[in-house]
């Protein structure tokens, strides 16, 4: 995922340019920190106060130059226009947020307005076109049938190999189809320019290593190499658990 984003940044912007980046949804905070450490100006918008406080404490331990380049704002991703002027960012990231939004279109339109001309919009969404595959591979036929019936809420995938996936209806998350997202991005003025599959193999490969004391697979390096290649190759990327979509503001 980090490599895919770096590839898109390198393709869209001059080498050495310090980019203005808006990251909507903090996650674990490492994505924003990596970008700040690389020399970019990063603003994080996060609505969860606990995460904001934790991130500010973590940022305080970073060198002065990185602290100066990274700003953490408490607020909702749907209210970007309240916090920032239109066209103020070269890159807008929204990874793992849309799956929790009941009405994603207004959020997406607001994110696109934050982009300067030629700016990159990077999204990570659930893949609604392959939602029955993983429950089917696990033998969870009820979930597979539900997904095949185009249900709107599906079990949430792992966001890292060591994360335990919660069960029950509270774990549900939206899923989006590639064709629908392509049309939406065109409609908000940030047409899709590239897309990748994320977690083609790793969800099932890490299924038996969710315990806290579990060892990573012996062939981890080869697994990650295969995952990286499959995420760029048809038809494999189309059955990934997640889709990484990259749109460019016209």
| Backbone dihedral region for residue 39 (phi beyond 0: left; psi -120 to 50: alpha; all else: beta) | left
Q: Tell me the pLDDT of the chain (250 aa) as tens digits.
A: 688 999 999 999 999 999 999 999 988 788 999 999 999 999 999 999 999 999 999 999 999 999 999 999 999 999 999 999 999 999 999 999 999 998 899 999 999 999 999 999 999 999 999 999 988 988 988 888 888 874 445 445 544 444 444 343 334 688 999 999 999 999 999 999 999 999 999 887 776 555 555 577 788 899 999 999 999 999 999 999 999 999 999 8
User: Residue 29: phi, psi to the nearest 5?
Assistant: 85, -10
pTM comes to: 0.86
What is the CATH architecture of 2-128+174-248? 3-Layer(aba) Sandwich (3.40)
**What stretches of 103-214 adopt beta strand conformation (E)?**
115-126, 154-155, 172-173, 192-198
Q: What is the largest CA-CA distance in the chain?
A: 53
Contacts 24+ apart (CB under 8 A), 202-209: 202/161, 202/227, 203/134, 203/157, 203/158, 203/241, 204/134, 204/137, 206/158, 206/161, 207/138, 209/161, 209/162
Nearest-angstrom CA–CA distance, 19 and 35: 9
């Amino acid at each position: 995922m980090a490599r895919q984003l770096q590839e898109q940044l390198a393709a869209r912007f001059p080498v050495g340019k310090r980019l203005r980046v808006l990251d909507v949804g903090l996650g674990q905070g490492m994505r924003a920190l990596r970008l700040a450490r690389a020399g970019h100006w990063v603003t994080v918008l996060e609505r969860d106060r606990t995460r904001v406080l934790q991130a500010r404490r973590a940022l305080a331990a970073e060198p002065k130059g990185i602290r100066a380049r990274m700003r953490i704002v408490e607020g909702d991703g749907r209210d970007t226009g309240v916090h920032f002027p239109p066209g103020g960012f070269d890159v807008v990231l929204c990874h793992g947020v849309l799956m929790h939004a009941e009405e994603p279109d207004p959020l997406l339109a607001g994110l696109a307005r934050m982009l300067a001309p030629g700016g990159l919009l990077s999204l990570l969404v659930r893949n609604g076109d392959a939602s029955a595959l993983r429950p089917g591979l696990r033998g969870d036929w009820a979930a597979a049938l539900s997904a095949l019936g185009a249900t709107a809420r599906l079990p949430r995938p792992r966001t890292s190999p060591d994360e335990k996936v919660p069960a029950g209806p509270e774990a549900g998350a939206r899923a989006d189809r590639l064709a629908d997202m392509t049309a939406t991005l065109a409609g908000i003025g940030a047409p899709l320019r590239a897309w990748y599959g994320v977690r083609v193999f790793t969800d099932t490969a890490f299924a038996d290593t969710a315990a806290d004391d579990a060892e990573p697979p012996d062939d981890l390096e080869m697994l990650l190499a295969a995952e990286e290649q499959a995420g760029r190759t048809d038809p494999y990327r189309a059955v990934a658990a997640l889709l990484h979509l990259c749109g460019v503001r016209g």
